[in-house]
Amino acid sequence: MDKKDEMIMRLVHYFVTEQNYTPIVVNGVKDEIWLENQEGPYKIVRINANYIHNEEQYKFDVFKIRNVMRQIKRKTVSFSMNTLNILLDVNESLTIKNERNINSIIVKNLKDAKAKLKSEPFPDISEKLLDDTTGMDLILNVTKDINEKTEKENKVYESTFKPKKIIVTPIIIVLCVVIFFLTFIASGGELSARTLLNYGACFGPVIKLGGINLLRFVSSAFLHANIIHLLFNMYALYIIGTQLENYIGRGKYISVYFISAISGALLSSIFSNAVSVGASGAIFGLLGAILYFGYHYRLYLGSVLRNQIIPLIVANILLGFVISGIDNAAHIGGLIGGYFTMMALGVSGKSEKSEKINGFIVLSVYLLFLTYILFFK
């Protein structure tokens, strides 16, 4: 290896093992390393070993960076992105200027790397950058450390995405179906608003009476107005619920489902003047949880979020405003409740403790605020 190759290995080792960056594949590039960390001080770190000899070549290099940034922004559903562009081989007479969202630095040796990256938001680089090994020892050390880091991350990824036995979602579906037919038979086939209210539907003025009526926050999520209503919700629950339960596990899934149902019922009781039933508030909560979960795995699920989840949420919310008979307040309340609940529970291997604490605080304040509005205003 020459000095440039050694520098690349030292920098990659530091960013991957110490700063949690992940190598990404960029088609059509040569002698370049691209690293990604959506929570890092720079979302993208690019290490370029190609020789840049004049201003025109540098401008073309910046053009390439922006093109790759656009691709990554689309893939990760990011609205803004900043890049640290580390150049290892530049003509000494060329002046490198920072561009919008692209901070370029020239690194010629270890001293350069420590001085210039330390002034960036990497204050530990002086202690963490490998500088006591060269040649084969450097290769072995870097390979060993990166493999250990990758193996750990792969275990988290495998544990999260490997197929698991789905239990909770089918149970909820069976309960909803059984309860529907029991209420249908008991009412003689007349599932009117008054009948549903007698069986536990959600209705603001009744909820405000307190006591046993508070159970309506949950019971209303298991009632449905007709067979079409039931079939539509159960199909959506099967598609969305099985995916989320597989991703986050049964315990977190149960919490998301029922807190979302309560959140949807709270907002419905405040803003809706009609009797409300159905699992759709809880289902929107599952969408909110997937939105939060997908954000943390957006390098893998970014296209799913952009092309499926977000359009689905937006389309259904808009339909709720233009079609009568849809309790949009319950949908929005469930969506918000599910998102904040997932934030409080955290995404395994991704969420920091502080992030989960913030999620718990936001969720508590949100639910307490809705409770205050409903019962005391």
Tell me the per-residue pLDDT of 120-135, one tens digit each, with 9 for 90 and over. 688 888 888 887 777 7
Task: Give the pLDDT score at 215.
Answer: 96
SS3 content of the chain, % helix, strand, coil (to 5): 65, 5, 25
Note whether 207 and 343 are same-domain residues: yes
Task: Give the pLDDT score at 144.
Answer: 84
Listed residues 161, 180, 208: the one ending a domain: 161
Query: What distance in Å separates the CA atoms of residue 7 and residue 278, rounded to the nearest whole number?
Result: 60
Q: Please tell me which residue, 92 or 169, carries the higher pLDDT value.
A: 169
Query: What distance in Å separates the CA atoms of residue 72 and residue 25, rounded to the nearest whole number?
Result: 11
pLDDT tens digits along 191-238: 999 999 999 999 999 999 999 999 999 999 999 999 999 999 999 999
The enclosing H or E element of 104 equals strand 102-106
Domain hosting 303: range is 168-376
DSSP letter assigned to residue 98: -
Note whether 56 and 149 are same-domain residues: yes
State which amino acid sits at residue 137. D
Note whether 65 and 29 are same-domain residues: yes
* Whole-number Cα distances in Å, 114 to 11, 35, 129, 176, 330: 10, 19, 8, 62, 54
Note whether 180 and 144 are same-domain residues: no
Query: What distance in Å separates the CA atoms of residue 53 and residue 63, rounded to the nearest whole number?
Result: 16
Note whether 268 and 138 are same-domain residues: no
Active site residue 119: no
Note whether 156 and 234 are same-domain residues: no
Note whether 35 and 90 are same-domain residues: yes
Note whether 107 and 211 are same-domain residues: no
Note whether 130 and 217 are same-domain residues: no
Note whether 221 and 338 are same-domain residues: yes
What does pTM read for this prediction? 0.83
Catalytic-role residue among 331, 348, 354, 364: 331
Place of tokens 């090994």: 133
For 48-97, where are the alpha helices, taking DSSP H only? 55-76
Rounded mean pLDDT, 279-305: 90
pLDDT tens digits along 213-222: 999 999 999 9
Six-digit token string for 85: 């562009």
Q: How confident is the model at residue 28 (pLDDT cuts 50, 70, 90)?
A: low
Listed residues 161, 196, 219: the one ending a domain: 161
Query: What distance in Å separates the CA atoms of residue 286 and residue 240, rounded to the nearest whole number?
Result: 7
Task: Give the pLDDT score at 137.
Answer: 79
Task: Give the pLDDT score at 143.
Answer: 82
Task: Give the pLDDT score at 1.
Answer: 65
Place of tokens 């020239």: 106
Task: Give the pLDDT score at 207.
Answer: 94
pLDDT tens digits along 323-354: 888 899 999 999 999 999 999 999 988 888 99
Note whether 212 and 361 are same-domain residues: yes
Residue 58: phi and psi, rounded to 5, are -65, -40
Given a cut of 70, whether residue 294 has pLDDT beyond it is: yes
Percent pLDDT > 90 in the chain is 57
Listed residues 113, 141, 161: the one ending a domain: 161
The CATH number of whichever domain residue 343 belongs to comes to 1.20.1540.10
Closest among 255, 278, 258, 254 to 328, alpha carbons compared: 278
Note whether 265 and 345 are same-domain residues: yes
DSSP letter assigned to residue 120: T
Query: What distance in Å separates the CA atoms of residue 314 and residue 235, rounded to the nearest whole number?
Result: 19
Q: Please tell me which residue, 170 or 377, carries the higher pLDDT value.
A: 170
Active site residue 13: no
3-state secondary structure of 44: strand
Catalytic-role residue among 219, 268, 272, 280: 280
Q: How confident is the model at residue 161 (pLDDT cuts 50, 70, 90)?
A: confident
Residue 130: phi and psi, rounded to 5, are -60, 125
* Whole-number Cα distances in Å, 178 to 49, 184, 223, 330: 65, 10, 10, 23
Domain count for the chain, please give it: 2
